[in-house]
C-alpha cells in the first residue's frame, strides 16, 4: 500500500466510518455515559478523534522529511 493510500485511509475513510456507522451501531445498545446516550457521547468524542486522525495521517504519510 503506497503512502498516499495510507494517508487517505487514516485521514479520510476512518473518520467517515467513525462519524457515520459507529453511532448507528451504538444507538441500539441503550448505554449511557454521564447521562447522555452513548451515540451522542461518541459524536462529541469525534470532535477530538477526527482531527487526531487527520493529524496522524499528515504527520506519518504526507509530511516532507
- Say whether pLDDT at 6 is over 90: no
Counting the structural domains of the chain, the total is: 1
* pLDDT tens digits for range 16-51: 888 888 888 888 888 888 998 888 899 999 999 999
pLDDT of residue 64: 63
The structure's pTM equals 0.72
> C-alpha distances in angstroms, 41 versus 6, 8, 15, 57, 58?
28, 26, 16, 24, 26
- Say whether pLDDT at 62 is over 80: no
pLDDT of residue 1: 76
Amino acid at each position: 500500500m503506497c503512502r498516499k493510500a495510507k494517508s487517505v485511509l487514516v485521514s479520510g475513510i476512518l473518520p467517515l466510518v467513525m462519524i457515520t456507522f459507529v453511532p448507528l451501531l451504538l444507538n441500539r445498545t441503550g448505554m449511557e455515559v454521564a447521562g447522555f446516550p452513548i451515540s451522542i457521547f461518541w459524536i462529541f468524542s469525534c470532535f477530538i478523534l477526527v482531527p487526531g486522525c487527520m493529524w496522524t495521517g499528515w504527520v506519518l504519510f504526507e509530511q516532507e522529511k
